A = this chain, B = another copy of it.
Amino acid sequence: MTVYFEDLDEGDVLEFGSYDVTEAEIVEFAERYDPQWFHTQPERAREESHFGDLAASGWHTASMAMRLVVDGHFSEAAALGALGIEKLRWPNPTVPGDSLSVRVEVLETRRSESDPSRGLVTLNHTVTNQDGEVKLEMRPTVMYECRNSE
Contacts and interface: CB of A to CB of B under 8 A. Distances in A.
A81 interface: yes
Would you call the interface of chain A mostly helix, strand, loop, or mixed? Answer: mixed
Copies in the complex: 2
Interface in A34-79: 34-36, 38, 50-51, 55, 57-59, 62-64, 66-67, 70-71, 74-75, 79
A66 to B, nearest CB: 5
A88 B80 contact: no
Contact of A59 (B32, B36, B59): B59
Give the interface size bracket for A toward B. Answer: 20 to 34
A63 B59 contact: yes
Contact of A66 (B59, B81, B84): B59
A29 B82 CA distance: 17
Interface string A24-36: 0000010011111
Contacts of A57: 63, 66
A84 B89 contact: yes
Contacts of A87: 84, 86
Contact of A35 (B36, B58, B70, B89): B70
A85 B88 contact: yes
A13 interface: no
A59 B75 CA distance: 17
Contact of A88 (B64, B81, B88): B88
A141 to B, nearest CB: 10
